[in-house]
Structure 1
Amino acid sequence: MTVDWWTIGLQVINVSVLIWLLSRVFWRPISAVISRRQQEIAARFAQVADGQKQLEADRAAVQKARDGFDEERAHIIAQARQDAESERTAILAKAQQDASALQAGARQSIAQEEADSRARWHGDAAALACDIAGQLLKETGSSDVARKALFDKLLTAISALPDRERTGLRDGFAFVSASAPGPDDQGAYETALVSAVGGHPSITWTTDPALVEGFAVKTPYLTVASNWQADLVRIREALSHAGN
């Protein structure tokens, strides 16, 4: 077999030229395109990485906000519960205070009613007792000793008057007795009264059976009494006050 070195050499040259042409005309543009695409892909990856970082940051911010919302909600709920409990406690305290006030008012009202009732009972009892005593005294009458004692008591009361009031009796007064005195008794009464008052008073003689027994000296401005009616009134007032 014979080797044609010229043919081989030409083929080698042709291959070399073809490789050179491909590297100059075809491979460089393709390499440039590939390089550009690689750069674009790298830029896209960088954008995706940045977006991923931003997404993570946004997610962290959202989670932080959510945690803040949860904390704020828990705080609001706790505050609302505390306010509700405080209000409930205040309402219960106010209700208890009002109930205590009502109870105290009721007790005071009941006590006042009981005191008023006791006072009325004592007053009625005292009035009844005095009425009975007065009626009995009227029915049984009195003795000269009792009448004299009442008149002496009247003279003592006149003597104990202040000078101005006792002097005022000198202008005249009414002498009231439970029953009309006889002439001798009237003379004795007049002498004793003039001596107690002094001067020459004008005496008006009147009777009032309501006195039961005893006497009274009266002017438009003054009354000096010594009679069983006055004594019964004082006893009645004393009994009424004793009941209070």
Structure 2
Amino acid sequence: MTIDWWTLGFQAVNVAILIWLLGHFFWKPVAGMIEARRASAQKLTDDAEATRAKADAALAEVEKTRAGFAREREAILADARKDAEAASAASLAQTKIDANSLEAGAKAAIAKDKKAQEGAWAERSAQLAIDIAGRLAARLDGAVVQARFLEWLLGEIRELPEQARKAAGAKGMKLEVVSAVKLAAAERKNCGQAVAEAFGGDPHITFRTDRTLIAGFELHGEHLIVRSSWRADLAAIQADLAA
């Protein structure tokens, strides 16, 4: 077997040229493309990691915010419970105060009504006693009764302070004797003399009749009134019963 060195040489040169061509026009672009793809993939990976890190941070922030919301919610609920308890306590206290006030008002109203009823009964009793006494006194209307009331009137005049008695009984001073029954002329004369002597002076005395006195007399002057009548006695009795 013989070797054709020229052919082998040409083939070797062709192979070398082919390798050079492949290396220059194929392997370098392919390697560049692979490197570019690798860099792009790395960038995508880095971007994904960054995005995931941002997402984790955002999630952590959301969890933190939710935790803050939960704490704030618990604080709000706690404050609401405290406010509700305080409002309930205040409402109960106010209700108790209102109840006590109503109770006190009711007791005061009951006491007032009771006092008013007692006063009304006392007034009715007093009025009934006065009516009874008045009817009895009306049957005793006579000379003896009038004389007795006149004596009491003269006694009241004599018990007046001396200065007041002399001033009221001075000469010319006007006095009015009011009687429960109309007096005859002689009775008026005797009564006027007795009154003037009780005053120790010489007053000008006139007479008037007032049947509401029931029995007795009243003496009216410019600055004094002396009562000795059944009406005055009954009024005093009524005042004592009503007290």
- TM-score, normalised to structure 1's length? 0.77
Moved more, 104-113 or 11-20: 11-20
Aligned mates of 2:151, 2:2 — CA distance in 1: 194
3-state SS in 2 of match to 1:176: strand
Aligned mates of 2:162, 2:40 — CA distance in 1: 134
Read off the aligned partner of 1:139 and give its amino acid letter. Answer: R
Moved more, 168-177 or 128-137: 168-177
**Aligned pairs (5 A) from 1:1-244:** 2=1, 4=3, 6=5, 10=9, 12=12, 14-140=14-140, 144=144, 147-148=147-148, 150-158=149-157, 159-161=159-161, 163=163, 167-170=167-170, 171-179=173-181, 180=183, 183=186, 186-187=189-190, 189-219=191-221, 222-241=224-243
Aligned mates of 1:165, 1:3 — CA distance in 2: 195
Read off the aligned partner of 2:50 and give its amino acid letter. Answer: D
Read off the aligned partner of 2:242 and give its amino acid letter. Answer: S
Q: 1:239: how far off?
A: 0.5
Q: 1:235: how far off?
A: 0.8
Tell me, yes or no, if the aligned pair for 2:153 and 2:226 is still in contact at 8 Å.
yes
Read off the aligned partner of 2:176 and give its amino acid letter. Answer: A
Q: Structure 1 residues 113 and 161, CA, compared in 2 at 3 Å: closer, same or farther?
A: farther
Moved more, 166-175 or 120-129: 166-175
Aligned mates of 1:162, 1:26 — CA distance in 2: 161
Aligned mates of 1:82, 1:168 — CA distance in 2: 84
Aligned mates of 1:211, 1:38 — CA distance in 2: 139
Q: 1:12: how far off?
A: 5.0
Read off the aligned partner of 2:236 and give its amino acid letter. Answer: R
Aligned mates of 1:184, 1:16 — CA distance in 2: 186
Gaps of 5+ in 2: none
Tell me, yes or no, if the aligned pair for 1:127 and 1:236 is still in contact at 8 Å.
yes
Q: 1:225: how far off?
A: 0.5
Tell me, yes or no, if the aligned pair for 1:169 and 1:219 is still in contact at 8 Å.
no
Aligned mates of 1:169, 1:102 — CA distance in 2: 63
Tell me, yes or no, if the aligned pair for 1:147 and 1:213 is still in contact at 8 Å.
no
